[in-house]
Amino acid sequence: MLARHHHPIVAIATAPGRGAVGIVRVSGKDIRPIIDAICGRALAPRQATYLPFRDAQGQVIDQGLAIHFPAPHSYTGEDVLELQAHGGPVVLQILLARCLEAAAAINPATGQAWLAQLRVAQPGEFTERAFLNDKIDLAQAEAIADLIDASTETAARSAARSMSGEFSLAVNTLLEQLIHLRMLVEATLDFPEEDIDFLQKADAQGQLLRLQQTLASVMQRATQGAILREGIKVVIAGQPNAGKSSLLNALAGAELAIVTPIAGTTRDKVTQLIQIGGVPLHVVDTAGLREALDEVEKIGVERAWAEIQSADAVLFLHDLTQQDAINYIADDARISAALALKLPQKTPTIDVWNKSDMATPAALAKAGKGIAISAKTGAGLQALREQLLQVVGWQSAPEGVFMARERHVHALQNVDAQLLRASAQLRSSAPALDLLAEDLRQAQIHLSEITGQFTPDDLLGEIFSRFCIGK
């Protein structure tokens, strides 16, 4: 534990701006002298007490609720004081300064000199202390930030499940199975005369298979949780006047982008966050892909390609009413070839044929495997939404998903790779048991990274620095 983790900390724990209530939070070892200085009395544990908050001269700063959470029964595992005052920014800043002043004024002769080190907390430091004091594990800590940042109800509910420990329980179940299997292999190494017969009698292969099956289930749920957290970036691309802006407006249910019959109306990207079945989608409307007629449009086209290359999915929009136009067909083919060249192989492209309300039956029949829609009437939009979720890998019902991050998915993938190597060793005619043991050990390390049992300090700093101050 770093030296700064022993310092008492204080911060405003509510969002900036005015509100009905604002909270100043203090956490540290035995903060009763600060409580006495500000509240003028001791506080009953975990009971809200209405009283005046006083400055160094005894003048009232504000009146509100004070709650003392003695260690270890607090959010951070340390002594915690919460001062709930009126939510004006000036009042909260005065209370914050008063806490620092009260700590600095404590007489070192009282044996509580550490309180003079009270400082303003860094982003996420309260939650970091909860993790360091074993109140929560790292996956739960991350879920707290994810709950705050959730952009859909489904994402919020999934984050709440992870925060309550559902994801951690799944990981710990895997760890228990893995550790038991490691014990068998290590015992075989310690007593080589038992050799492989010992592992066969203990059904090591069966245990490993069941472990892999459980891992597959956890990976599937974590992958879905990562989609919920990160959202899906969907870029609408195509020639000018194909109806890209109209499609964005139709998906968003609002007039966000300017729509005119003039080709090249959209010069820069327009982004909107929407949700489909609780899954957040960042939909990006881009400039029409063609040879630019002026410098401004050229920049817009370059930005369009940049957005396309970073997309999770691309909607390649075609105009059904132009399907038989020779020049239009040639330009569509040029764009299609460029997409194939510039897009990562894993990025799906959905062919969308717009203006079905204006197209002839013959034109609709030629649309091929794409989805025919009308951005104007809404026809086909539901099929498009369902196809989008399918191509990006969304499968699970919302109630079965817990919130996860890309680092969690990556760790689980590393575990899977190690277990595949271990399985190959077990199935070989002459297993190298020392290599098998190392594969299982590495799998355990990767798995433990999720909950923070084996996590480097620099990763912890990166994770908690993304929290808001006071949390």
97 carries a ligand binding annotation: no
Residue 298 marked as a ligand binder: no
The response to whether 265 counts as a known ligand-binding position is yes
Is 261 annotated for ligand binding?
yes
214 is in an annotated binding site: no
Residue 288 marked in a binding site = yes
C-beta separation of 374 from 319 below 8 A: no
471 is in an annotated binding site: yes
Does 242 belong to an annotated binding site? yes
448 is known to lie in a ligand binding site = no
246 is in an annotated binding site: yes
Q: Is 13 annotated as contributing to ligand binding?
A: no
Q: Is 201 annotated as a binding residue?
A: no
264 known member of a binding site: yes
Per-residue buried b or exposed e for 52-80, using 16+ beta carbons within 10 Å of the residue's own CB: ebbbeeeeebbebbbbbbebeebbbbbbb
245 has binding-site annotation: yes
Residue 344 contacts residue 308 (beta carbons within 8 Å)? no
Residue 286 marked ligand-binding: yes
349 is in an annotated binding site: no
> According to the annotation, is 241 in a ligand binding site?
yes
Residue list for the binding site for Mg(2+): 245, 266
Known binding residues are 25, 82, 135, 241-246, 260-266, 285-288, 471
Binding site, annotated residues for GTP: 241-246, 260-266, 285-288
Annotated binding site for K(+): which residue ranges? 241, 260, 262, 265
Binding-site residue numbers for (6S)-5-formyl-5,6,7,8-tetrahydrofolate are 25, 82, 135, 471
